[in-house]
Amino acid sequence: MSENKPLEVLSTIDLSEAQQEYIKNQVNNIHLTVVSAKDAANLPKEVWEKAEVLLTSGRNLPTREQAPALKWIQVPFAGVEHALEYPISSAPGVLLTSASGVRVSQLGEYALMALLALSHKLPKTIQAQREKKWLPNSSDVLMPQEIRESTVGIVGYGSIGREVARLLYSFGATVLAAKRNVMQPEDSSYNAQGLGDPKGNYFRRLYPIEGLPGMLKECDFVVLTLPLTKETYHLFDDKMFEAMKPGAGFVNIARGGLVDEAALVSALKSGRIGGAVLDVFEQEPLPPESPLWSLPNVIITPHISGISPKLMDAVVELFVQNLQRYQAGEPLYNIVDTSKGY
């Protein structure tokens, strides 16, 4: 990039006027073009040809021929599986960055809500309310498994898992965590100040993914926060659910494809798992015929654990910091290893 020539930045995500002005005021010497596009083919040829930086949902990427100058793609999600479906995301000379760390506050709150709901037997309480039934022996039937002094296993110790751990630490829970590389307990990815566990202070023990069965047998609750890759597809199958502590609670705020839903249904019906809060599914929307809908020990939400009215402002803040780093020749936050998928 020439020192005098403006950096050509294209956003195919709708940005408010205030967000556009913020980017222009915080980043010097850029030319920002905002064009909403659901399909790359709908954008004029000259728009693609000039773009060096692209802010996109990851579902409308161009070909290399359409965007010969493109060097960096920023997506507004922690998961990048949709962007990786397009060859340009892993093309030589193109960086792909995620928004890991942006949604940790709302995802952490959702996970905590889910754990409290399971610990205080909320599915049973809701079912009794629907049936207009005052449960006999309610102090026994609804006896909570208190978060304090419980053991919670977090599978995937990235920015989201670390924020869940931070919140649980304040409740007095014991946190066990599993991640791919246990030799790197610290986290250098993007995070808002005061959130997460960048130094690795909030877990009792760290397990490799291969050691999951040993971790699961100790956990009263299990929370999934890891990315979906070829290696993690259906990670939670019959064998993994069988390894869990009998009656444990299960929360998935990551990706539906991590879980073999038939195995999950079986574990829930048998009581092997005491209950589940599920925000993500292999097929979305979840089909009406899915048995998950009718299980009394399940709470279902429609992939809303990461939403917030302030979400796009947070994405823009990350994008601004990465633009500043890009212009300064510094490493960007959240560079994706496209060979691994995260």
Task: Kindly list the strands in the beta sheet with 95-97, ordered across the sheet, starting from the edge strand earlier in the chain.
Answer: 30-34, 7-11, 53-55, 72-74, 95-97
Instruction: Note whether residue 141 is domain-resident.
Output: yes
Domain match, 130 and 162 both: yes
pLDDT for residue 193 = 85
Q: Are residues 20 and 115 in the same domain?
A: no
Q: Quick check: is 246 in a domain?
A: yes
- Concerning whether 255 is annotated as a catalytic residue, the answer is yes
- Which residues are CB-contacts of 296 (< 8 A; sequence separation ≥ 6)? 123, 124, 127
As averages over each run of 10 residues, the pLDDT of the chain (342 residues) reads 82 96 98 84 88 93 96 95 95 97 96 98 94 92 94 97 97 97 92 92 97 98 96 97 98 98 98 97 98 97 96 96 98 96 92
Structure tokens belonging to residue 326: 């890009």
Query: Which of these is catalytic: 255, 261, 272, 317?
Result: 255
Do residues 79 and 156 touch, judged by C-beta distance below 8 A? no
- Residue 335: predicted pLDDT: 97
User: How many angstroms from the chain centroid is the CA of residue 56?
Assistant: 17
CA distance 272 to 47: 55
From 31, 120, 205, 303, the catalytic residue? 303
Does residue 334 form part of some domain? no
The answer, as to whether pTM is greater than 0.75, is: yes
* Annotated catalytic residue, options 149, 284, 325, 330: 284
Q: Same domain, yes or no, for 47 and 89?
A: yes
Q: Give the pLDDT of residue 3.
A: 60
Is residue 90 domain-resident? yes
Q: Examine the domain organization and report whether 81 and 26 are in the same domain.
A: yes
280 neighbors 150 (Cβ within 8 angstroms): no
pLDDT at 188: 85
CATH number, position 33: 3.40.50.720
Strand (E) or helix (H) holding 270: helix 261-270
Residues 231, 168 within the same domain? yes
Residue 59, pLDDT score: 86
DSSP 131-143: TT---TTHHHHT-
Q: What is 81-114 written as a DSSP string? A: TTGGGSGGGGSTT-EEE--TTTTHHHHHHHHHHH
What is the reported pLDDT for 57?
Answer: 93
- Domain span holding position 281: 104-300
Residue in the block written with tokens 């601004």: 320
Question: What's the structural domain count of the chain?
Answer: 2
| pLDDT number for residue 43 | 86
Q: Tell me whether residue 284 is one of the annotated catalytic residues.
A: yes
